[in-house]
Amino acid sequence: MTKPYPLKFEPEFKDRVWGGRALEKFGFKLPEGHIGEGWTIADHPNGTSSVVNGELAGQGLDQIREQFGREWFGTKGISEAGGRFPLLVKLLDCNDNLSVQVHPTDDYEGLPKGELGKTEMWYVLDAKPGAKIIYGLKEGVTRESLQAALDNGTVMDSLQELSVSAGDSFYIPAGTVHALCAGVVVAEIQQNSDTTYRIYDYDRPGLDGKPRELHIEDSLNVTAYEGAGATAMKTDNAVPGEWLQLAASPYFIVEKGIVNGAWSLATTPDSFTILIICEGSGHLKWDGGSQPYAAGESYLLPSSLGTYEMDGHSTVLRSYLP
């Protein structure tokens, strides 16, 4: 019988028109192309990450889920909708602007069969001077005025822009119009969904030379014109050995921690724990093993792991189910 241990995954990389090569700085061997996304913990028809350490090396997250289910993922840890793992974790390299987009809620009638809505959050790992994001609509924008702005080519005048720097955190509930812009690298934690409605894509060609599809009607339908509860925060006040909460949603809780030496922690029976190493390095230790960790890596800790220790000097994000 396989004893629970921290699972380290090989990301599945995605070629995107807005991507680049920045994820190489984490030591990943990237395929050719404009690599915009590394799906580091993924159990989705469009991408599955595979374990690279220990007894289960070579197995996909979907296979692990089928073998161990609630025993490893916790009483809350299996999504009833589609049966998939409930969260999707990515690293994003935004070498160019992403499309202006919005995601639906779980109850949107236009969702593809088997898909969930998409509430997400970003943690900025790196940002070039002057980097920004699009984060919500300006005050007073309505469906009618947004439609008119799309028709006459002035949609950017309806959107809020924010300057960003490393360490910034953004919570993006479904219905929030948003876009990452050129010059940022982020960790993204989201519902396990790949449904995105593009509102505007700068009239640029996609990787195939043709304009990428827009989803204007769906976008207008799912946008939360009065706001959906999006929040942004600086996280410089995180202190070693304490968790700073960045996002609390019905789908995930995300916290930031600073490891400075040895930090004793534990999983709980109701949820797995995801660790994303933002910077630094060290060792992850548990009953029966030890694993070196480094920036860019993601780990899935089974709910049944129990006590573990992070030893080293690093910044880490911890995610689990509420």
Residue ranges in 74-215 assigned as alpha helix (H): 143-152
| Catalytic residue from among 16, 65, 198, 318 | 198
> 220: helix, coil or strand?
helix
Q: How far apart are CA 87 and CA 79, in angstroms?
A: 9
Q: How far apart are CA 149 and CA 141, in angstroms?
A: 10
Q: Judge whether 103 is annotated as a binding position.
A: yes
According to DSSP, the β-strands at 184-191 and 87-94 are: antiparallel
Torsion over CA of 298, 301, 307 and 309, rounded to 10 degrees? Answer: -10
Q: Are 282 and 309 in contact (CB under 8 A)?
A: no
For residue 184, report the phi and psi dihedrals to the nearest 5 degrees.
-120, 150
Q: How far apart are CA 24 and CA 92, in angstroms?
A: 12
Task: Give the residue carrying structure tokens 């909460």.
Answer: 245
Q: Are 4 and 77 in contact (CB under 8 A)?
A: no
Torsion over CA of 69, 73, 78 and 83, rounded to 10 degrees? Answer: -50
Residue 198 annotated to the active site: yes
Q: Are 65 and 9 in contact (CB under 8 A)?
A: no
Residues marked as binding for Zn(2+)?
A: 103, 120, 178
Residues marked as binding?
A: 103, 120, 178
Catalytic residues: 198
